[in-house]
Amino acid sequence: MSVINIQQAFISEFIFSIMGKIKTFSGNIVDVLNSEVYPGTLKISHGRILDISQEKKNYKNYIIPGFIDSHIHIESSILPPSEFARAAVIHGTVGAVCDPHEIANVLGIEGVKYMIEDSKTVPMKLYFSAPSCVPATDFDSSGAVLGTVEVEELMKLDEIKCLGEVMNFPSILVGNSELIKKISLSKRYSKPVDGHAPGLRGQKLEKYINSGISTDHECLNRDEAEEKLGLGMILNIREGSAVSNFEELIPLLEKHYKSFMFCSDD
């Protein structure tokens, strides 16, 4: 940083402090980049950290980065995104990747668009996936169907960040053309494909991954998780209301920390 920039930074901090716009927060700072925890104070103004200072004090509280839920179905909370955000943000969740396949099974593409529009009314960062399996399987009946035309319409939206969990993995294994086309669409728009393959192992798992699917939040045990990690998958450690595999998978985190995310799911 040049001398001029340093002077400008000090001037800005001085002006903000005079105006009473600098807020300070003290506690045990969790530095996730350097794997450190130390007592200190943050100075924050206009949503930006101006200064971090280490101290020799004892604090009981911890200051940690906001949690980004890597996979969740907001509809399971029986709340729209705006009300879900009000409840979640006070517990430290500042963002989420939402798979709206539940509302899509009822209202189709209009339901997905409703979720996106409603999410824009809150400061919490909510991103969405294009549901891949509506209905979930060929044997289900639902209020709507999302085919390749609807999925491509969603893929064109900036708010859609990936193709939603491919739950119908048996269709992938038999080469279902409709589902393969949806995965190809996602790749065409340079968006990843979320997986859902509990208990899938060996050659079937390899075929599933080779179709273009890169993540999974469904692991029945640690051995399955290690196999999926070995094949290059990114896994979600899930601690949800319906299912939890946190205790089973957390021992793998230290060795594979770059290949794990955390999620609630349902």
pLDDT digits (tens, 9 = 90+) for 39-51: 999 999 888 888 9
Same domain? 109 vs 34: no
Indicate whether 160 and 231 sit together in one domain: yes
For residues 196, 197, 203 and 207, what is the CA-based torsion angle, rounded to 10 degrees?
Answer: -20
Its domain, for residue 232, covers 67-263
CA separation for the pair 74, 101 (Å, rounded): 10
Say how many CA atoms lie within 13 Å of 54 toward its Cβ. Answer: 5
On whether both 160 and 148 belong to a single domain, the answer is yes
| Banded pLDDT at 210 (limits 50, 70, 90) | very high
Among residues 63, 89, 104, the one where a domain terminates is: 63
CATH code of residue 105: 3.20.20.140
Same domain, yes or no: 123 and 255: yes
The percentage of residues in the chain with a pLDDT greater than 90, rounded to a whole number, is: 83
Which of 63, 81, 112 is the last residue in one of the domains? 63
Q: How many CB atoms lie within 10 A of CB 234?
A: 19
Q: Are residues 81 and 14 in the same domain?
A: no
User: Is 115 found in the same domain as 14?
Assistant: no
Beta bridge partners of 51: 43
Q: How many structural domains comprise the chain?
A: 2
- Are 176 and 245 members of one domain? yes
d(CA 162, CA 131): 9
| Count of beta carbons in the 10 Å neighbourhood of residue 11 | 10
Task: State the pLDDT at residue 139.
Answer: 77
More confident residue, 16 or 127: 127
- In this prediction, residues 137-164 reach a mean pLDDT of 93
Last residue of a domain, one of 31, 63, 95: 63
Is 52 found in the same domain as 74?
A: no
pTM (two decimals): 0.86
Distance, CA of 98 to CA of 125 (rounded, Å):
10
Same domain, 238 and 164: yes
Question: Does pLDDT of 16 surpass 80?
Answer: no
pLDDT at residue 119, as a whole number: 97
Q: Is the pLDDT of residue 107 over 70?
A: yes
Find the helix packing angle between 148-155 and 177-188, rounded to 10°: 10
> In Å, how far from its chain's centre is CA 60?
29
- Give the DSSP H or E segment for 128: strand 125-130
Residue 4 predicted with pLDDT over 90:
no
Q: What is the per-residue pLDDT for 78?
A: 95
Task: Kindly report, residue by residue over 71-89, the tens digit of the pLDDT.
Answer: 999 999 999 999 999 999 9
Give 9's pLDDT tier (boundaries 50, 70, 90). low
Q: Do both 133 and 217 map to the same domain?
A: yes
Contact, 208 vs 199, CB < 8 A?
Answer: no
141 & 227 share domain: yes
Same domain, yes or no: 188 and 249: yes
Angle, helices 222-230 vs 202-210, to 10°: value is 50
The answer on pLDDT for 237 being more than 60 is: yes
CA 178: distance to chain centroid? Answer: 26
User: Directed axis angle between helix 109-119 and helix 81-89, to 10°?
Assistant: 40
What per-residue confidence (pLDDT) applies to 141?
80
